[in-house]
Amino acid sequence: MPQTIELTASYVRPAIFSLFPELVGAESTRHGGVSPEPFSSLNLGINTADDIANVDENRRRFLSAIGAEEFGFTSSYQVHGLEILLATEAGRYEGYDALVTNQPGLLVGVTVADCVPILVYDSEKRVVAAVHAGWKGTTGKLVAKTISLMKDLFGTNPEACYAYIGTCIDECSFEVGPEVADLFEPAFRRAQLGTVKSYVDLKAANRQLLLNAGVPAAHIEVSSYSTVLNNDSFFSHRAEHGQTGRMLAVIGVKK
């Protein structure tokens, strides 16, 4: 049976980032907005059938709640690819599934409704990244590529990075065919007896990518929530058959 959680706020703030008062990092829930069903209520996705005025108001509420109303905001129309944007100013782009910036006062973010949002903070260079990793982004090692770009551009030391693997579809709900399962290492897939299908653990796969990139295990937090099991508090594209809203996961350094 679906799990019920006591989660009624409009956002979740990762505990791993509480060490850094200069940092704003959070992921939204579905609570506290103005959107009607099936987007009820805090739909932050522009590319949905929801009224754009609702989404604008919801985004205003979310940014205000996390103390980021004075930030610029950079995002992208995501395409389940491996392109990474170096964000230098506020704006909306297309074709990028990860965003990196070293600009104080600039928030970067990704929208999700089952895929994995990953937020990364280089605590030495004060560089942030937001990554959108579905199964394509995970098998394409997008979060590792993002950290590599941070190293190339800013001299990031992965040992100084802190990461949050956000709320997404959990292993017990992410059933896939062999064409997807075979792309994952055996440690991150579990065969479903009596069928050709498997369950894939996107959280664990991305955690391993972070570890392989040099991020210490103690610097990685993994959300305990599931978009499917906790669908009362998070949007799930799969559980709601595509008729649903989107969450935002955002990160930025204060001026």
Over residues 29-66, the pLDDT tens digits come to: 999 999 999 999 999 999 999 999 999 999 999 999 99
Are 223 and 165 in contact, with CB atoms under 8 Å apart?
Answer: yes
**Residue-level pLDDT at 2:** 40
Measured at the CA of 107, the angle between CA 102 and CA 110, to 5 degrees, comes to 110
Q: What is the pTM of this model?
A: 0.97
Helix (H, G, I), strand (E, B) or coil at 186: helix
- Nearest to residue 114, comparing CAs of 77, 166, 66? 166
Are 88 and 108 in contact, with CB atoms under 8 Å apart?
Answer: no
Which stretches of the chain score pLDDT less than 50? 1-5
**Residue-level pLDDT at 8:** 78
Over residues 175-184, the pLDDT tens digits come to: 999 999 999 9
**Residue-level pLDDT at 6:** 54
**Residue-level pLDDT at 7:** 72
Residue 211: exposed, middle, or buried by beta-carbon count in 10 A (0-12, 13-18, 19+)?
A: middle
Q: Would you say the C-alpha torsion 121, 125, 210, 162 has a positive or negative sign?
A: negative
Enter the tokens of residue 139.
Answer: 């098998």
Instruction: For helices 142-154 and 202-213, give the axis angle rounded to 10 degrees.
Output: 30
Are 196 and 139 in contact, with CB atoms under 8 Å apart?
Answer: no
11-170+202-253 — its CATH code?
A: 3.60.140.10
* Cα(135)–Cα(34) distance, integer angstroms: 31
* Cα(226)–Cα(176) distance, integer angstroms: 17
* Cα(232)–Cα(238) distance, integer angstroms: 14
Q: Which amino acid is at 47?
A: N
Domain limits, the chain:
11-170+202-253
